[in-house]
Amino acid sequence: MGVIVKTDYKKMLVNDCVRPYLLKARYGIEKESKRVDLFGNLAKTDHPKSISLRDDHPYIQRDFSELQMEIITPVTETLEELFNYLAAIHDVAYRSMGENEMLWPLSMPPQLPEKDEDIVIAKLKSAENVRYRQSLSHSYGRRKQMLCGVHFNFEFGDEFIQALFNAQSEIKDYQHFKTEIYLKVTRNYLHYRWFVTYFYGASPSSEKNFFEEDSLNKVVRSIRSSKFGYTNSDDVQVSYSSIQNYVSDLSLMVKRGLLSAEKEFYSPVRLRGGHHVSDLEDHGISYIELRNIDLNPFGNYGIIYEQAEFLHLFLLYLLWKDEGENCDEWVKMGDFYNDIVALEYPLEHTQFEVKAKNMIDEMEQLAAILNLTVSDTLFVNLKEMLMDPSKTLAGRLYTESEKSSQGQVATCIAKENYKKSWDMPYQLAGFTDMELSTQILMFDAIQQGIQVEILDRQEQFLKLKLKDHVEYVKNGNMTSKDNYVSTLIMENKTVTKKILHQHGFRVPKGEEFQTIEQALRSYDLFSTVPFVVKPKTTNYGLGISIFKEGANYEDYQKAITLAFKEDSSVLVEEFLKGTEYRFFVLNDKVYAVLLRIPANVKGDGKHTIQELVNQKNRDSLRGSDHRTPLERIQLGELEKLMLKGQGYQVDSIPKKDEIIFLRENSNISTGGDSIDVTDQIPDDYKKIAVDAVAALGVKICGIDLIIENTEVPADNKNAYGIIEANFNPSMYMHIYPYKGESRRLTMHIIHYLFPELLQSQSN
Amino acid sequence: MGVIVKTDYKKMLVNDCVRPYLLKARYGIEKESKRVDLFGNLAKTDHPKSISLRDDHPYIQRDFSELQMEIITPVTETLEELFNYLAAIHDVAYRSMGENEMLWPLSMPPQLPEKDEDIVIAKLKSAENVRYRQSLSHSYGRRKQMLCGVHFNFEFGDEFIQALFNAQSEIKDYQHFKTEIYLKVTRNYLHYRWFVTYFYGASPSSEKNFFEEDSLNKVVRSIRSSKFGYTNSDDVQVSYSSIQNYVSDLSLMVKRGLLSAEKEFYSPVRLRGGHHVSDLEDHGISYIELRNIDLNPFGNYGIIYEQAEFLHLFLLYLLWKDEGENCDEWVKMGDFYNDIVALEYPLEHTQFEVKAKNMIDEMEQLAAILNLTVSDTLFVNLKEMLMDPSKTLAGRLYTESEKSSQGQVATCIAKENYKKSWDMPYQLAGFTDMELSTQILMFDAIQQGIQVEILDRQEQFLKLKLKDHVEYVKNGNMTSKDNYVSTLIMENKTVTKKILHQHGFRVPKGEEFQTIEQALRSYDLFSTVPFVVKPKTTNYGLGISIFKEGANYEDYQKAITLAFKEDSSVLVEEFLKGTEYRFFVLNDKVYAVLLRIPANVKGDGKHTIQELVNQKNRDSLRGSDHRTPLERIQLGELEKLMLKGQGYQVDSIPKKDEIIFLRENSNISTGGDSIDVTDQIPDDYKKIAVDAVAALGVKICGIDLIIENTEVPADNKNAYGIIEANFNPSMYMHIYPYKGESRRLTMHIIHYLFPELLQSQSN
């Protein structure tokens, strides 16, 4: 033990059995930033109340100070997922802060208060955590704590390490082998980290009151990564030669009082595994945390995809690359080199340029030999940054700042990020390909501190977890709360109607037919009454014919034939007159009622219909393909036909305040307007909706009632009729209606699934 | 009140608004028969224990005697449904009695015991009901009670009566109008019922010990409908002139002691509405019960469809047909006429032949005028029976009996009915178009006294009701017990695997791909290991490729392309070696484990493969299209290819005891064998199945485990792997396995849904 077995990683890495797993890894990011007001001044507010204030919030916490927001991604197995979460949690953070705050994009803080005490320590619930922060402020001063950065957590895929393990015979113990891998990578990372600092260092200068006196009076690549950053005293020395030495050195530092706790050891790489440092000895290293990453001002989230890809590749390269004989010396040299690079003028070439060039070439060759797929631009950009220091992050930030000031540049960037998050407030960045209701639900879950795992992205399948409580959700509101057969009932129009009828609710009378002949024989039943012909199971309006005043035999026959083209069963039923309302019922309560109005424009006496449509379509709520709360109005054949029927064309100019309908049907998907009328609908109709849903045994339901006149009591004969019950009702249309109040149904779903959230809030 | 308003039904019936509803009606049948042994002797056993013994069993009860079985259909809106239920309940009755009993097909009992007391009164739970039977046996003697017949309950459709009501203006009160309709029809039915007796009377002679002395020493059309049948004393006279007179006369008869209770009034038509006769006055008549129908020996169920159709048409005709001025006289004449016809010699022409001929013609004309659809044969048969009395039921039965004896004829018919019910014991007559598991579940539900309503026949959607407890079931085991999202989890192979994996179960490792390119890039992961390529969502084996020893790139590419033809997502996963077992888990318990073996035959050294297949296919368990527990083995292209691979052809003769496989896959649907191994599978594997199903949050599940060796403990590394969890697992294959014990899963489902059944049984 303690002796480093020289294992030939170069040979192992090219082994055929290792090859399939080379890029398997797990990632996690913690990213700190400071909340500022819209002028770039440190926020004076508390952490947003809309975010669950638990100290153990999985995604959004406070760091040292109350105004330091820490964004924590879950562990992911791909970089795509990692950045999706990073984007999403940022969206939640932004919109939870409200419209008067934004996040400072730099590692270096904006102007600090003159008095150290004016930097407010995070108001955490745990007294111990507050005490620890107080002790830090004594040792290092609060202003140093205002440095922010990214911690990049990295774990090699287990299959990868397993394959490497199988490809060698020197080390017999798997855990030992794994630990050796991480130790080698860590030592090499510490030695070569100047390389990272050169490209991605991004803290060239400080704002007012950061340094007590002007201790650093030059512009550099990275204050944060240099000895002027947040570092332990020089006396703190820890060996990375073996896990035993690492652990015993650390505990010695604590014993000697050089560190108040092991977690106060601010190494650029932290070895991770288990809750306590001492666990490392028993369980080995499970992953490493790279802590020397400055916030990238030019990415939206403090770090960009290419950087993360670089880091992964760099770590693989460091595993491959030989290290120095003397471990401790090797690491120490790294500190020395890094300080040189960190303190270089950002626009000057680094003195390690030749070495850096070699390393880039080696990395590129390694990627080629191992047949690794990396972004095309990765090596191009590295080379460019090496040749032209003004292209490095520090170089770019400094160059930009010269035009105005670093503070102004940062404020400007912050505002862009802010704007991006607020532009389409219904979307969740990173997941905009998913259904809108699911995006909003995920937003709410993240805000409430519920862990969100995507089990199947195409299928909108989520796993939500709060402590030990797990709930699975598909499509936003298909949950464990509903029973299976009730959803099957709703899927079947005939069965739904039968059950509602048996419970005394009014449903359109009608018959179901399996053959055209059978349907034709029943013509007499419908010839003189208003009726609808529709396929039994389709949902998209196809094959539906409405006869508001009965029909002659020929038309009846046509309609039947049309419907049978869509389904093998066809319903012919009574047509109910009145207005259709969608009631959203959740756990025996109506949370929203929506009126849907067919696509329309309102004349102003000046503009053509075409122009009015264009105007209306400019609303950011309107888009296409259900990824916005409303759809753009089309001016296709159907709309033109509808206009023609009213004596209009697209270039007609309607009179002021005249409403021109462009569609017969009121679907949101064909440009219809959604109008929240929850507060306008009388309680007796809400009771009908609730009772009908209960009769079906359903907990989450969108039920459609036709009401002729809401002022007539619901128990009047034929006051209402129930048209349909939907087992996966759209939620976003209630949350972002065209007119009327927003009803945050997704949050109600979350609270229904996790009632403990409300209990803990009321505590 | 009491005055009969002469309403012109002839005019009303041809009204255009009435026309669509002319044949709308509701029906119900009660049919009594006696249990006999296989030789036609009265059974000495108790009512079958397998039938729930509740006095209020909705379908199968005891009548006067313990050996009298009464079969009661639910109320239906079509005659098709009515006869479906009648057939189904008979099937349940037959198979519940066991293989040593059958039902006597005649109204007249077989030879009775010499002593009246040897006829055992029904052993009902209610002491009151037993007392009533005892009082009847005092008044009428027990042998008279052994007469059996059919009661036909008939209600005009409400839309029909409503339309008639709207087509007249004489009667203002709807309920009054409705009652008048039924009164007119009843008076006319009582007057003309000789017409029914002529055609369908079917009790020409009695067996030994029915009559105390030989009071009737001739052969007739219907003993049961004559004064020798089960009738009240002549003093019992009740007027049908109005509902008030009817009710007051009845209560007078009871007051005078001529009847022990109103229900002892044995009129050929009973007016129905409410629980007590007195309710009729308040609520009017809701339907009528025709009680003068002898058991039709030549139908399987005591009455045939054409008879019921006749009765409906006859009642419509009687509504149309004028009645006599003096109501009571008119009814009394009916009794007189009927007794004449009932006591005519069955092979002689009736003395009312001319009148009957007129009535048939009138009915036929009415049907034509009203454009009613009736069976083509109805009028043909009536006319034929009128011309040739030997074609009437009494005529046929008597003619047949002359060849041997009435008892022998009846025994022979009973045996045929018996055989029909036992031939395919997995089927439920009347519903053989439905899925097999649903048929068996319906059987069990009927047996347990649960009301079964079919909400959607094509969709196998049932409503089950026991007192106030309603459960909906689709496809036999999709119920309220499972939650929605758990079934969605099972529907999604990727999500199922993820969750099982997260809970520590072994599932095949693998990846999901959305594009061919993506899949091809991962070739390295699978090139050298056993693996399967399969579409994500299809279930029928299409697009699946198995590579038991890895694959070259070209074959991999082909398999991927094939799979993507079936679905937009494709899974590539590790192939697990071992035997696949299906575990049926219900509410955290394994109720059955099944091994499925690919289609095969076993050589005998004599027959060709073709012959062996034919032999095996003769098993009545084998059929086609999932309507039998096993499917017939095909000898199609795939099978021939498989034979060729083994060096055989269809005309090869395999050696004795050699097993020849005809398929690679073990699906029952392609001729595979099902073998119950529930008792052979060790408990630790059952626990894996139960725990895995619980991890998915599921209550009813068919979960497939691959086990390499069941003798190795389940907690050994890679001892098992979970392949799939099915949310609507087939049940019939466990209930009727090719080999091994039957596991009555449908009954377990019933008891799971209605736990109160087990409680009441243990009471």
Q: What is the mean pLDDT of residues B590-619?
A: 96
Contacts of B455 in chain A (CB under 8 A): 492, 494-495, 498-499
The answer to the question of residue B160 being in a domain is yes
Per-residue pLDDT band for A550 (boundaries 50, 70, 90) equals confident
Minimal Cβ distance to B480: which of A455, A461, A485: A485
- Give yes or no for residue B190 having a pLDDT over 50: yes
Cα B420 vs. chain centroid, distance in angstroms? 14
| A230 belongs to a structural domain | yes
Is the residue at B761 inside a domain?
no
B379, B394, B423 - which closes a domain = B423
Residue B233 has pLDDT above 90, yes or no: no
Within-domain flag for B480:
no
| Same-domain status, B106 and B202 | yes
In angstroms, the separation between the Cα of residue B528 and the nearest Cα of chain A is: 9
Contact flag B461-A488 (C-beta cutoff 8 Å): yes
Six-digit token string for A641: 């036909």
- Together in a domain, B129 and B146: yes
pLDDT at B541: 67
> Hey, are the CB atoms on B482 and A483 less than 8 Å from each other?
yes
User: Any idea which of A241-255, A432-446, A531-545 has the lowest mean pLDDT?
Assistant: A531-545
Q: Nearest chain B Cα to A488, which residue?
A: B474
Claim to verify: residue A128 and residue A238 sit in the same structural domain: yes
Q: Is there a single domain that holds both residue B685 and residue B567?
A: no
Residue A160, pLDDT score: 95
| Chain A partners within 8 Å of B472 (Cβ) | 485-486, 488-489, 495, 499, 697
Check: CB of residue B341 under 8 Å from CB of residue B359. Answer: no
What's the mean pLDDT when you consider all of chain B?
93
| Three-state DSSP string of A587-626 | CCEEEEEEEEECCEEECCCCCCHHHHHHHHHCCCCEECCC
Residues of B in contact with A474 (CB under 8 A): 485, 488
pLDDT, mean of residues A27-34:
97
Domain boundary among A618, A640, A671: A671
Candidates A485, A495, A525; nearest CB to B479: A485
Residue A77: which pLDDT band, with cuts at 50, 70 and 90? very high
Region A573-597: mean pLDDT is 95
Do A561 and A664 have their domain in common? no
Q: Is the pLDDT of residue B173 over 60?
A: yes
Chain B: closest CA distance from residue A323 (Å): 30
| B452 found inside a domain | no
Is A707 part of any domain? no
Closest CA to B154 of B366, B294, B307: B307
Q: Tell me: the pLDDT tens digits for A486-522?
A: 999 999 989 999 999 999 999 999 888 999 998 998 8
| Mean pLDDT of all residues belonging to chain A | 93
The answer to whether residues A22 and A141 belong to one domain is yes
- Residues linked to residue A580 through DSSP beta bridges, in sequence order: A706
Which H or E element spans position A99? Answer: none
B109 token code pair: 């009992």
* pLDDT band at residue B5 using 50, 70 and 90 as cut-offs: low
Distance CA A651, CA A301 (A): 46
Helix (H) or strand (E) holding A536: none
Nearest chain B Cα distance for residue A242, angstroms: 32
Q: Provide the CA B734 distance to its chain's centre, in angstroms.
A: 21
What is the rounded average pLDDT of the residues B633-649?
91
Cα distance from N-terminal residue to C-terminal residue, chain A: 52
% of chain B beyond a pLDDT of 90: 77
**Distance linking the first and last C-alpha atoms of chain B:** 52
Q: Which of B574, B601, B623 is the last residue of a domain?
A: B574
User: What's the pLDDT score for residue A135?
Assistant: 86
Pair (B89, B76) in one structural domain: yes
Provide the pLDDT for residue B3.
47
Q: What is the per-residue pLDDT for A763?
A: 46
Q: Which residues of A touch B (CB under 8 A)?
A: 19-21, 373, 455-456, 458-459, 461, 463, 471-474, 478-489, 492, 494-495, 498-499, 514, 521-522, 524-525, 569, 697, 727
Please judge whether B499 and A373 are an interchain contact, meaning their C-beta atoms are less than 8 angstroms apart: no
Contact between A455 and B482 using a beta-carbon 8 Å cutoff: no
Same domain, B632 and B530: no
Q: How far is Cα B171 from Cα A33, in angstroms, rounded to an integer?
A: 86
Note whether A393 and A310 are same-domain residues: yes
Q: What is the dihedral of CA A51, A54, A58, A63, to 10 degrees?
A: 90
- Reported ipTM: the value is 0.91
pLDDT of residue A3 exceeding 70 = no
Is the Cβ pair B480, A482 closer than 8 Å?
Answer: no
- Of A216-220, B365-369, B710-714, the one with minimum mean pLDDT is A216-220
Cross-chain residue pair A485–B486, CB shorter than 8 Å: no
Identify whether B383 is part of a domain.
yes
Chain B contact set for A471 (CB, 8 A): 485
Tell me the chain A residues in contact with residue B20 when contact means C-beta distances shorter than 8 Å.
Answer: 522, 524-525
A478, A499, A522 member nearest B484 (Cβ):
A478
CATH at B297:
3.30.590.20
Determine the residue of chain B that is closest to A727 in CA distance. B484
Q: Chain A residue with minimal CA distance to B494? A: A456
Q: How many domains does chain A have?
A: 3
User: Does residue B416 share a domain with residue B518?
Assistant: no
CA B429/CA A495 separation, integer angstroms: 24
**Is pLDDT of A142 > 90?**
no
How confident is residue B763, by pLDDT bands cut at 50, 70 and 90? very low
- A179 SS3 class: helix
The answer on B530 and B603 residing in a single domain is no
Q: Which of A474, A485, A494 sits opposite B485 (nearest CB)?
A: A474
> Is pLDDT above 90 for B216?
no
Contact B20 A481 (CB under 8 A): no
What pLDDT shows up at residue B213?
67
CB crowding A380-418: b at 16 or more within 10 Å, else e: eebbebbeebebbbbbbbbbbbeeeebbebbbebbeebb
Residue with tokens 């650029």: A268
pLDDT at B550: 86
Min Cα separation B175/chain A (Å)? 19
The residue-averaged pLDDT of B706-714 equals 95
- Taking a C-beta distance cutoff of 8 angstroms, is the pair A152, A293 a contact? yes
Smallest CA–CA distance from B160 into chain A, residue: A525
State yes or no: pLDDT of B191 exceeds 60.
yes
Give me the CATH number covering residue A521: 3.30.1490.20
State the Rg of chain B over Cα.
32
| Domain extent at residue A539 | 509-574
Mean pLDDT calculated for residue range B433-449: 97
When mean pLDDT is compared across B7-11, B59-63, B476-480, the lowest value belongs to B7-11
CB contact under 8 A, B483 and A487: no
What one-character DSSP code corresponds to residue B580?
Answer: E
Q: Which pLDDT band holds residue B2 (cuts at 50, 70, 90)?
A: very low
Summarize pLDDT for B374-427 with one digit per residue, the tens: 888 999 999 999 999 999 999 999 999 999 999 999 999 999 999 999 999 999
* Chain A residue numbers touching B21 (CB-CB < 8 A): 525
Q: CATH number for the domain including B666?
A: 3.30.470.20
CA neighbor of A300 nearest in space, from A89, A616, A582, A60: A89
Q: Is residue B183 situated within a structural domain?
A: yes
Pick A310 or B521 by higher pLDDT: A310
Q: Flag if B499 and A461 touch (Cβ within 8 Å).
A: no
Residues B280 and B397 grouped into a single domain = yes
Angstrom distance (rounded) from CA A585 to CA B115: 68
